[in-house]
Amino acid sequence: MKKVLVIVAVLSVVLVVALLVLQHIDTYAEFWRMRETPAVRPHEEPLLLMEDGVVPVSDGEALLRLTEAKDLKPPFNLYDSSAIQSGKELYFTFCAQCHGQKYDGNGTVGQSFAPLPTDLRSEKVQSMSAGNLFKDISFGLPKGRQPPLATTINITDRWRIIAFVKSLGLRE
């Protein structure tokens, strides 16, 4: 019986101390008083109006999406060795996970796809125009596994990747 009374007494003391600490915090720690902090009301002031011409609608990706693939031209020579080397580095950053180290569609991620990603040294890919490759890389394939990479890879780097892919040639 004494043990029960001691436990009840200790719990009572702990509870009273906890309440005193909370009361002290509420009285003296102003930064903890949420009820007195100003509420955030984002729509109390009128929204800012966007100036004309801020959002591009006739240039950049919007223009590229509307341009026919046959009319798309790279901003540099696709056979330039520096562009090909840069494209190789970009390939291993953005593409090798699916298309593989040997460009055969058997990359670490690509192995789980059915069908496998396209072999980049196949007749199908190597015979495509640079503009068609650009559109496929940029905007993806509607019923394929190629994701749209326009927001991931900038325009010039996409052309560099194409320069590298075209330099691979046909698989023998």
Query: Using CB atoms within 10 A of its CB, is residue 139 exposed (0-12), middle (13-18) or buried (19+)?
Result: middle
For residue 139, is it within any domain? yes
Query: Which pLDDT band, with edges at 50, 70 and 90, does 2 fall under?
Result: confident
Q: Quick check: is 43 in a domain?
A: no
For residues 32-58, give the mean pLDDT: 64
DSSP percent split of the chain into helix, strand, coil, nearest 5: 55, 0, 45
Tell me if 61 is assigned to some domain. Answer: no
Which is higher by pLDDT, 18 or 66? 18
Closest among 164, 156, 168 to 73, alpha carbons compared? 156
**Average pLDDT for 9-16:** 94
| Same-domain pairing of 20 and 78 | no
Task: Indicate if 159 and 84 belong to the same structural domain.
Answer: yes
Closest of 70, 63, 75, 64 to residue 159, by C-alpha: 75
Which residue, 145, 141, 118, 138, is CA-closest to 72?
Answer: 138
Res 154: pLDDT: 92
Q: Under 8 Å CB-to-CB from 36, ≥6 apart: which residues?
A: 30
pLDDT tens-digit readout, 25-38: 777 776 666 556 56
The span from the CA of 163 to the CA of 77, in Å, is: 8
In degrees, rounded to 5, the angle at the alpha carbon of residue 64 between the alpha carbons of residues 59 and 66 is: 100
Q: Are residues 19 and 83 in the same domain?
A: no
Residue 44, pLDDT score: 66
Same domain? For 7 and 83 the reply is no
Q: Are residues 21 and 100 in the same domain?
A: no
- Taking the C-alpha atoms of residue 40 and residue 6, their distance in angstroms, rounded to an integer, is 49
The reply to whether 117 falls in a domain is yes
Q: How many CB atoms are closer than 10 A to CB 52?
A: 6
Q: Looking at the structure, tell me whether residues 29 and 86 fall in a common domain.
A: no
Check residue 127 and give its pLDDT.
95
The 10s digit of each residue's pLDDT in 72-122 is 999 999 999 999 999 999 999 999 999 999 999 888 988 888 888 899 999
Confidence of residue 55 (pLDDT cuts 50, 70, 90): low
20 and 91 fall within a common domain? no
Examine the domain organization and report whether 154 and 112 are in the same domain: yes
Both 111 and 155 in one domain: the answer is yes
Give the CATH number of the domain where residue 135 resides: 1.10.760.10
pLDDT at position 111 is 83
Whether pTM exceeds 0.75: no
Structural domain range at position 30: 2-36
pLDDT surpasses 70 at 43: no
User: What mean pLDDT do residues 64-75 have?
Assistant: 89
The answer to whether the CB of 157 falls within 8 A of the CB of 165 is no
pLDDT on residue 40 = 60
Tokens read off for 88 = 């190789």
Name the domain count of the chain.
2
Let me know whether 149 and 98 are in one domain.
yes
